[in-house]
Amino acid sequence: MTFKLFIQAILKFLLGVVLVGVLVFLPAGSLAFFNGWLFMAILFVPMFFAGIVMMIKSPSLLASRLNAKEKQREQSVVVKLSGLMFISGFVLAGLDFRFGWFPLPRGVIYGAAAVFLAAYLLYAEVLRENVYLSRTIEVKEGQRVIDTGLYGIVRHPMYSATLLLFLSMPLVLGSLFAFIIFLAYPFIIAARIKHEEAFLERELSGYIEYKERVKYRLIPFIW
């Protein structure tokens, strides 16, 4: 662990808290937005402790997770579309609360929060299984194909976890309209996976054979 990495991680974490808070609460026009606070809690509290664990046990993994700058044009477009989806969805959720367009039942909100936390645990398990994970598409020196655990079920378990995370977010925020916006994510991530697999076939030894062994990309028995 280095002091520079620590500062970088803390600054990015605080920036994320401020940015999400502004996107959610400013359109809501009030800090009395319970769903907003619930969402912030289940998003950032586990993230904070996960960051501490990575900083202590695997600083290199934390450093790679903090690097979000895509070098490939196709993936840069995917990242920008995802950012647009988040901004639009969060703002719409805040407006939904302000104007009371279509409030969701508490049961749906708490159920979505449970799904979100379960997906967080799934995401943490993926990070434990694959020390090569990065937020950008790349192959690191000495990298090998991971084909055990969750990687023996689907080829992209991290994206499976994010699918659950992102589709539950707008429901935690209590907004059906924001959920409709977030339905763009499966299509966005499908485009990313298609390009990523073509890259890995070229650059990662054994990946073609891995694809033959593990048939499903994202959801078992479906795709």
Note whether 17 and 41 are within 8 A (CB): no
Closest CA to 217 of 150, 170, 123: 150
Q: Outline where DSSP puts E strands in 63-191.
A: none
Range among 6-15, 36-45, 64-73, 133-142 with highest mean pLDDT value: 36-45
The total of other beta-carbon atoms located within 10 Å of residue 93's CB is 31
Residues 4-52 pLDDT 10s: 777 888 888 899 999 999 999 999 999 999 999 999 999 999 888 887 8
Q: Is the pLDDT of residue 74 over 80?
A: no
Note whether 38 and 172 are within 8 A (CB): yes
User: pTM score > 0.95 for this model?
Assistant: no
Mean pLDDT of 99-110: 94
B/e letters for 32-42, b = 16+ CB within 10 Å, e = fewer, are: ebebbebbbeb
The total of other beta-carbon atoms located within 10 Å of residue 23's CB is 19
Cα(68)–Cα(189) distance, integer angstroms: 16
Mean pLDDT of the chain: 88
Cα dihedral: 82, 162, 124, 70 (round 10): -30
Which three-class secondary structure state does DSSP give residue 175?
strand
In sequence order, the 6+-apart residues with CB closer than 8 A to the CB of 156 are 193, 196, 217, 218
Residues 39-56 pLDDT 10s: 999 999 988 888 787 777
CATH classification for the domain delimited by 3-213, as one of 1.10.3720.10, 1.20.120.1630, 3.30.479.30, 2.40.160.10:
1.20.120.1630
Mean pLDDT of 134-155: 80
